[in-house]
Amino acid sequence: MKLEPEALLVVVVTMSLVIAGLLAARFLLRNRRLLTALRTERDAAVQEATRVNARHEALHEETRHLVFNRLPAMAAHLSHQHVPVPELAQLVFAGTEVEEAHTAALKQVAQAVVAERHRVDEAAQAVMRGATTVIQALSYQMQSKIDAMQHRYEDPEMARDLFELDQLNEQNLRRIQATGVLCGAWPGLTRSDSHLGDVVVGAQSRVRGYQRVQVTSRLTSPVAVVARAVEPIAITVAELLANAVHHSHGTLFVDVSLHHAESGACVVIDDAGVGMHQDEVEFAARLLSGGYSLLLTELGDPPRAGFATIGRLVRQYGFTVSIDKPAPYGGVRAVVFIPDDLLTLLDEQTQPMSAMAPVSRQTPPPSAVESGAPLPDALPQRRRRSPQPAHKAQSPVRADQAPTPEEAQATWSAFQAGTASGRVAACTDHHEGNAR
């Protein structure tokens, strides 16, 4: 069929419009899809930006928490174990690289703080060692001067004053010596093999309130401490006695007894003081074990260095010290165990005990039985030499324990006023013992 030109034009125009519409619709659909994709990407970008900003803010807060809370708490925890170190403030970082980085930072700071504390403490100990060595040497010189004056002057009043001055110097020397040992110094005094009783009585003379200390012996043989351990044992017993006297009322006595043990000997110290809490006992046991050491800055104010000093000596010389609670009298019992390798036997004829040493008793008191120390059925009395003074002493010496310092003071005054032979005998007893 032949179309007219007008009809053909209409057909062509119509088809063109249809084709143009189809193309426009496809273009619009494509643009709509593109716009939708762009909106989706924009929303995702906004959400990611919001998440990143939130994480950045959380990281900022976590870093502030690390700097202002966790690090100071870590520094305090290194000195006081009861102070807790806070955990992460933002749990979103748990198990992430942020937590690992912050934990590493805490460890690095802790190591740096500990290293610096040890460096400063070692420097302080070096200074203290130097100072105590000089002061200790001066105290020994003063002790020698006092000894010479005690032998030079015969006036009983002078002797009494010199005795008190000597005791004050002993107290001063004990504190200086303990401080030096705590800082790594050598005990500073060379001894010969010495009777255990002499060592204990010598330690008693270094303590303020020594009048309240009662020493008895259950030893059946002349047990002595070898030379290298004499001064460490004396320092240890003196510190324990000072602690017992300080923490018990001025009207109460401190009982000290010497015992044989299965593989050595022991010194048992019982006080009727205020006692110790269980946590204090556990802390003391750690210090006395010798495996735990404190920095000087951790000893408190005023510093409590007694147990720390003993712990250092225990670690160096091989004896042991234990604290038990409750003690038979409601206070604290301290036991110094001295193994066989630190003990020896002396010939009492050539090396007798000093006049101040405790005499053995045949009947042990309940406190000795409770200590569990093995005792023979029969304990013979020890025979020992005694000087013959020119006139009778003011107070008799009791047979069941060491004489009191007042009795010893009176005896010493009698020695000074005695004959030359009595003075020689007194001098012999003085140098064979360890009352200094």
Report the pLDDT value the prediction gives residue 363, as an integer from 0 to 100: 43
77-82 own/partner pairs: CB under 8 Å, 24+ apart: 78/110, 78/113, 78/114, 78/117, 79/297, 79/298
pLDDT value at 431 more than 80: no
Is there a domain that residue 178 lies in? yes
Report the domain count for the chain. 1
pLDDT value at 272 more than 80: yes
Report the pLDDT value the prediction gives residue 356, as an integer from 0 to 100: 79
Report the pLDDT value the prediction gives residue 330, as an integer from 0 to 100: 81
Query: In this structure, which amino acid lies at residue 369?
Result: V
Residue 380 vs residue 228, higher pLDDT: 228
Report the pLDDT value the prediction gives residue 51, as an integer from 0 to 100: 83
Residue pair 79/298 in contact by the 8 Å Cβ criterion: yes
Concatenating the DSSP letter of every residue in 397-413 gives PPTTSPPPHHHHHHHHH
Predicted confidence band at 376 (pLDDT cuts at 50, 70, 90)? confident
Which pLDDT tens digit goes with each residue over 130-172?
888 889 889 889 989 998 998 888 888 888 898 889 889 988 8
Report the pLDDT value the prediction gives residue 372, as an integer from 0 to 100: 39
- How confident is the model over 352-372, as a mean pLDDT? 58
Mean pLDDT is lowest, of 316-330, 347-361, 389-403, for: 389-403
φ and ψ of 270, to 5 deg: -115, 130
Report the pLDDT value the prediction gives residue 1, as an integer from 0 to 100: 57
Report the pLDDT value the prediction gives residue 406, as an integer from 0 to 100: 56
Predicted confidence band at 361 (pLDDT cuts at 50, 70, 90)? low
Report the pLDDT value the prediction gives residue 214, as an integer from 0 to 100: 92
Cβ burial of 150 (10 Å; 0-12, 13-18, 19+) is buried
Give Cα 436 to chain centroid, integer Å.
26
Is there a domain that residue 12 lies in? no
Residue 207 vs residue 300, higher pLDDT: 207
Predicted confidence band at 3 (pLDDT cuts at 50, 70, 90)? low
Predicted confidence band at 18 (pLDDT cuts at 50, 70, 90)? confident
Report the pLDDT value the prediction gives residue 392, as an integer from 0 to 100: 34
pLDDT value at 369 more than 60: no
Is there a domain that residue 421 lies in? yes
Distance, in Å, from the CA atom of 192 to the CA atom of 176, rounded to the nearest integer, reads 22
Average pLDDT of the residues of the chain: 79
Report the pLDDT value the prediction gives residue 224, as an integer from 0 to 100: 93
Is there a domain that residue 112 lies in? no
Distance, in Å, from the CA atom of 349 to the CA atom of 365, rounded to the nearest integer, reads 29
The enclosing domain of 161 has a CATH number of 3.30.565.10
The continuous run of DSSP H or E covering 387 comes out as: none
Residue 254 vs residue 432, higher pLDDT: 254
Concatenating the DSSP letter of every residue in 20-46 gives HHHHHHHHHHHHHHHHHHHHHHHHHHH
Predicted confidence band at 368 (pLDDT cuts at 50, 70, 90)? very low
**Widest pairwise Cα distance in the chain:** 172
pLDDT value at 41 more than 90: no
DSSP 8-state symbol, 273: S
Which one, of 363, 355, 351, lies nearest residue 407 by Cα? 355
Mean pLDDT is lowest, of 37-41, 111-115, 255-259, 263-267, for: 37-41
- How confident is the model over 182-201, as a mean pLDDT? 87
Residue 259 vs residue 81, higher pLDDT: 259
Which one, of 157, 267, 151, lies nearest residue 202 by Cα? 267
Is there a domain that residue 26 lies in? no
**Winning range, highest mean pLDDT, from 259-273, 299-313, 357-371, 413-427:** 259-273
Report the pLDDT value the prediction gives residue 296, as an integer from 0 to 100: 84
φ and ψ of 216, to 5 deg: -130, 160
Is there a domain that residue 37 lies in? no
Q: How far apart are the first and last CA of the chain?
A: 148
Which one, of 226, 346, 334, 223, lies nearest residue 287 by Cα? 334
Report the pLDDT value the prediction gives residue 395, as an integer from 0 to 100: 35
Predicted confidence band at 204 (pLDDT cuts at 50, 70, 90)? very high
**335 bridge partner residues:** 268, 322
Report the pLDDT value the prediction gives residue 410, as an integer from 0 to 100: 56
Rounded to two decimals, the pTM is 0.67
Domain that holds residue 212: 122-432
Collect all residues with Cβ–Cβ distance below 8 Å to 355 and sequence separation of at least 6.
384, 386, 387, 403, 408, 411, 429, 433
Is there a domain that residue 385 lies in? yes
Residue pair 267/335 in contact by the 8 Å Cβ criterion: yes
Reported residue count of the chain is 436
Is there a domain that residue 27 lies in? no
Distance, in Å, from the CA atom of 109 to the CA atom of 73, rounded to the nearest integer, reads 12
